[in-house]
Amino acid sequence: MEETSEGIGIKMYSTSKRVDNSSSMYPTQDDTIPELSQPIGGKKRRAMANGVQKTLSKTSLLVNFLPTGTLLTFEMLLPSVFGKGDCSPITTFMILTLLGLCTLSCFFFHFTDSFRGPDGKVYYGFVTPRGLKVFKTGLGVDVPKDERYIVGLTDFVHAMMSVLVFVAIAFSDHRVTLCLFPGHAKELDEIMRSFPLMVGVICSGLFLVFPNSRYGVGCMGTAPTAPTLPPIDQLVSIFIDAIEAGYRHFDTAAAYGSEEALGRAVAKAIQRGLIESREDVFITSKLWCTETHHDLVLPALKRSLARLGMDYLDLYHIHWPVRMKNGSDQAVKVVNEDVIPFDMKGTWEAMEECHKLGLAKSIGVCNFSCTKLSQLLTHATIPPAVNQVEMHVAWRQEKMLAFCKEKGIHVSAWSPLGANGIPFWGNHAVMQNSVLKDIAFHRQKSIPQVALRWVYEQGVSVLVKSFNKDRMRENLHILDWELSNEENAKIQEIPQCRGFKGELFVHPNGPYKSPDEFWDGEL
């Protein structure tokens, strides 16, 4: 249901030696720094510094906010600026300038974010009150309009945390304090015993209140597209966990890369007696966009069955109403320039042939608008059994539900939790919704349970995803209670926002010139 990622902690060590001066712990600007074999107060200072470095390292690991490039740049340039230790006005000015530039970069890095385009490249920009402003215009790539790219309080909090961490580390280096605060050794020693540790504790606490969700310049990660799958053996175990928990409907696709693992899991579940036979599970797979041609459908289905190790599918979908230039259905890479006209009639005739051959008990479509469904029904001899679409409390699909009910087409919902912010098809409109939070609090349920229950009450099949055994079981606990009329009325007031706008398939020279055209005005 949710995906998590780990940051990278970087430990900083200072090899500089403390120095002594006969009249003062720190020399005046006219003094030079002699090399001493036994620095005064060195053991205590080094012990404190090591503790600070470890604390800050763990903090950066926890919050994933430290612009490491800035800190490394500072550490590399400082020896050149400091030279032989002559704290002249020029040296002091250069240190101040270096500190200022690095502090500004730490601050502004946290007002950047990124997204991964359909070409696989990552594009960066500044977050603003109006959304993401990419650094370079004229890229030929549509910039996401998600709310997550609007600047907010969290960005300012993380910017300040980053500055505090940088200052704490920089000022723990005696070369900085030596020139900036001559003659204040004792006071600085007292401060540096507690200040960096205090910064680490405060920042760790603030992160719990203001978690980071940016993938900007200087952050230790880049914008994701789809969550990556675990190794196949681990994925097999996850599927078996789901079967043990009670799941019987499994939705896969050639594009997901999970067919082989699912087939292995079903076979092992039969061997272990978790289910009696293949007939105890309902398996859905999908035809990828490179295969949406009359002559390519049957071979693609046979490849899916071979990966699954099965003789038939319970349901076979057309994944998108899109045709892309020929390629592999296992090497999925969406490039909008590769989108070509989609032969709906010919592709559906081949889908019907798959059904007649007994290779697919039912056939359906995914992500078809009401307009495209109407077009399909005009020439289909076997109507689609299912239309699988994005549906959740923030995209209720009321028109689609009414249309499909009239035509006898079942609806199933993908991303019923809004995909929790995944770029291009996800947002936070479900998991961070205040209405759902309020209902969940009073019901003593989780937000996902409330969101899934609402979809279930619309008569729609719910397609949830989780690699976590506890959340798998939690997702099933939606069948023995109902939302009240008052709660449903509140949900009806939630603003609507489609997660996937269709940018991946839009191109000035392609069949779809705009998201509105892709969805036939049903945005």
User: Mind telling me the catalytic residues?
Assistant: 256
d(CA 430, CA 347): 35
Query: Contact at 8 Å (CB) between 337 and 510?
Result: yes
> Comparing C-alpha atoms, which of 518, 385, 410 is closest to residue 460?
410
Q: E strands along 367-518, which residues?
A: 386-390, 410-414, 461-462
Token digits for 122? 């990552």
- Residues belonging to the chain: 523
Q: What is the Cβ-side half-sphere exposure of residue 146, based on CA atoms within 13 angstroms?
A: 23
* Tokens 């074999």, residue located: 37
d(CA 179, CA 93): 9
d(CA 267, CA 320): 29
Where does 83-152 have alpha helices with state H?
A: 89-109
Radius of gyration of the chain (CA): 29
Bridge partners (DSSP) listed for residue 196: none
Q: E strands along 91-142, which residues?
A: 112-116, 122-128, 131-134
User: What one-character DSSP code corresponds to residue 149?
Assistant: G
Query: Contact at 8 Å (CB) between 494 and 393?
Result: yes
* Phi and psi angles of residue 328, each rounded to the nearest 5 degrees, phi first: -90, 140
**185-209 vs 42-63: helix axis angle to the nearest 10?**
20
d(CA 45, CA 171): 13
Question: For residue 233, how many other CB atoms are within 10 A of its CB?
Answer: 10
Q: What is the largest CA-CA distance in the chain?
A: 98
* Cα–Cα–Cα angle for 130, 136, 137, rounded to 5 degrees: 70
Query: Contact at 8 Å (CB) between 428 and 420?
Result: yes
Where does 332-484 have alpha helices with state H?
A: 344-356, 370-379, 398-407, 434-443, 447-457, 469-476
